[in-house]
Amino acid sequence: MASAFGADWQTRHVATRVVEMETTPSTQLEARRMIELGDADGVLVIAHRQTAGRGRLGREWVSPDGGNLYLSFILRPRRPVSEWHQFTMMAALALAEAMEATAAVVVQLKWPNDLMIDRAKVAGILAEVADAYVIVGVGVNVNADLPAELAEAVSLKQAAHRPVNTRELLRRFVIQFDGYYDSSLRGATFEQAWAARLYTLGKAVRARVGEREIVGIAETVDATGALWIRTAEGTRISCPAGEVTLRW
Ligand code: ATP
C-alpha cells in the first residue's frame, strides 16, 4: 500500500519500519503493544486520527482527522534509558526546525514538552519509557480545524495562512531526529540547544508539583530536563519534567 504520509524515505535508526493507521486510540498505546510483541526497535507508528490521544499527566491530546500528525517512535537506545529526557529535547528541536522550514513560522519551546507559536500551542511531545525502550510521541496541529474549547491552541495552517504539506513536515522531522539520535549515540547531548529555544527561561513562574507550589524565576534546565527555579529567598529548587505544571 502506498503511504498516505509519503513515508518512503529511509533512516538509519528511527523509522526503519513504518506502521500507518487510519484511526487508533493512541499511537503511544500502539507502540506499547508492539513492544510487547517484540522486535519493535525502529518502528514508527503514525495515524490520521486518535480517539484517546494523551498528553502529560494523563491529560487529553485532542486529535481530529484532517491532515495533522500523530506519531510515536520506538527506540531501544544503546544509551541508558535513564537519559530518556534527551529524547524530548531531540524531538522538540527536530520538530521546531522541521516546522520552521516547512511552514515559515517561528517556533518557541515551552518547558517541558510544548511547541508554541506566538504563545499558542501547536504541538506536544511525550517521551515515555517502556521496559528497555523509549517511546517518543508527537502530536502536531497541522491543517485540521481546532475545536473551540482549545482556546490557547493554534495550527500551522492558521499560523502560516495557508495549508501546510504534512508529508514534507514529517520527512524533515524524521530525518532531523534521526541525525540527532545518531549524534547522541556518539555522546552528543541537547540541553544547551534546547535551553536556547525555551522561552520559559528568565520568566516569573508558578510550578505546581502535586499539592506544592514553587514561585520564582525559571533560571536554567539541566541534562535530565529538570527546570531550576530561584525563589524570592534565593533558594534554587529543581522541578522534574514529568511531574510539574507550570503557570505564569
Ligand atoms: P500545559 O503545560 O499547557 O498545561 P501540559 O504540558 O501539562 O500542558 P500536554 O501534555 O502538553 O500538557 O498537553 C495536554 C494539554 O494540552 C491538554 O490539557 C489541553 O489543554 C491541551 N491540548 C490538548 N489537545 C491539544 C491540541 N491538539 N493542541 C493544542 N493543545 C492541546
Number of separate domains in the chain: 2
Same domain, 88 and 211: no
Same domain, 190 and 208: no
Q: What is the pLDDT of residues 206-229, one digit of tens each?
A: 999 888 999 999 999 999 999 999
17-24 and 43-50 strand pairing: parallel
Average pLDDT, the chain: 94
d(CA 69, CA 55): 14
Spatial neighbors of 144 by CB under 8 A, at least 6 apart, are 64, 65, 66, 67, 68, 155
- The answer to whether position 73 is within a domain reads yes
Tell me, yes or no, whether 3 lies in a domain. no
3-state secondary structure of 230: strand
End-to-end CA distance of the chain: 48
Ligand 1 contact via 166 beta carbon (within 6 Å): no
Judgement on whether residues 93 and 208 belong to the same structural domain of the protein: no
Cell of 5: 504520509
The CATH number assigned to the domain holding 206 equals 2.30.30.100
Domain assignment present for 9: no
CB of 64 sitting under 6 A from ligand 1: no
At residue 192, the 3 state secondary structure works out as helix
Do 123 and 104 fall into the same domain?
yes
- What's the longest Cα–Cα distance across the chain? 61
226-231 contact pairs (CB < 8 A, 24+): 227/111, 227/112, 227/200, 229/205
Q: How far is the CA of 6 from the centre of ligand 1 (A)?
A: 28
For the segment 118-169, what is each residue's pLDDT rounded down to a tens digit? 999 999 999 999 999 999 999 999 999 999 999 899 999 999 999 999 999 9
Predicted pLDDT at 78: 79
In terms of residue numbers, what domain contains 94? Answer: 17-195
Strand arrangement of the beta sheet that strand 133-140 belongs to: 17-24, 43-50, 69-75, 133-140, 120-130, 114-117, 108-110
Choose one of 159, 178, 195: the last residue of a domain: 195
Protein residue closest via CA to atom 20 of ligand 1: 150
User: Can you name the residues that pair with 45 across neighbouring β-strands?
Assistant: 19, 72
More confident residue, 78 or 165: 165
| Domain identity same for 148 and 238 | no
Residue pLDDT, tens place only, 61-72: 999 999 999 999
Q: Do residue 230 and residue 183 come from a single domain?
A: no
Confidence of residue 57 (pLDDT cuts 50, 70, 90): confident
How far is it, in rounded angstroms, from Cα 103 to Cα 163? Answer: 9
| Mutation to probe ligand 1, out of 88, 114, 121 (largest number of atoms < 8 A from CB) | 121
Task: Tell me, yes or no, whether 51 and 134 share the same domain.
Answer: yes
Give distance in angstroms: CA of 55 to centre of ligand 1: 6
The reported pLDDT for the residue numbered 1 is 57
57 or 242, greater pLDDT: 57
Say if residue 186 is in the same domain as residue 215.
no
* 128 CB near ligand 1 (under 6 Å): no
- Is residue 122 domain-shared with residue 213, that is, in the same domain? no
Tell which one of 57, 62, 138, 246 to mutate to probe ligand 1, the residue whose CB is within 8 A of the most ligand atoms. Answer: 62
What's the 61 CA to ligand 1 centre distance in angstroms? Answer: 6
Q: Please check whether residues 171 and 230 belong to one and the same domain.
A: no
Above 60 in pLDDT, residue 192? yes
Do 133 and 211 fall into the same domain? no
pLDDT for residue 92 is more than 90: yes
